[in-house]
Amino acid sequence: MNTRVNRIFLFSTLFAIAALPVRAQNAGTTVAVATPTAATKAPSAPRPRSWGVPEDRMFFPHNWLRGYVDYEVAPPHNEPDLDRCTQSQATIITAGKANSPCNAYARYLLGGYLEVQPFGRTFARHFFIFYTPMFSFGNNVPQFKYTASMAGIAYDRAIGIGLELPKHFELRVMQHQVDWLGKYRSKNLDPSVPGLDLGTPGPYGLYSTIAARWYFGGYGHMRDDR
């Protein structure tokens, strides 16, 4: 009887000892799995970038001066009309046809666009100044004279200030003006031929506007890479 009890006790002891490593391994596995899970934090959401251009140094950030230059040539019979000379054939014939002194029809256009954004920090970084010049050159009389002359005709420009807004919007305040060049500074090129020189203030003349602009399709994002 004692021998049987001793055997049962021995087997029980051996079974308990054998089970300890298994339980320890399970416990270790649980800890090993649970510990990284507890220690690992959920990745924080990236901070949304402020609208407008990225922040840079305070003054004169990267690409603070940007724009383009444009040069155009109009083929014969397609000259831009600067709205200075009459289109009346009878009046042009009276003024001498090809010798008419009013020949403000351009052959060449030289212009471009310039933006200046001198601040890279604080709310001031959302403001910029823009400038759009256009010079017209030529000496042509439709149906009577077509030349390659580079005679100056007019200086057309717009200048203003803009403010970047969220969602690719901009607010712009602009003034437009035209100055005549060369002989066109005169108020009347040939008083002897009434109606030949219209004496207009140039294309669109002098005006000011307040505008809202919206960019879409990726256009206008060149400043986002600053």
- Enter the pTM of the model: 0.73
* Residue boundaries of the structural domains of the chain: 1-40, 65-225
pLDDT digits (tens, 9 = 90+) for 63-114: 899 999 999 999 999 999 999 999 999 999 999 999 999 999 999 999 999 9
pLDDT digits (tens, 9 = 90+) for 111-170: 999 999 999 999 999 999 999 999 999 999 999 999 999 999 999 999 999 999 999 999
22 confidence band (pLDDT: 50, 70, 90): very low
Q: How far is CA 148 from CA 59, 87, 104, 112, 116, in A?
A: 45, 21, 13, 22, 35
Q: How many CB atoms lie within 10 A of CB 49?
A: 10
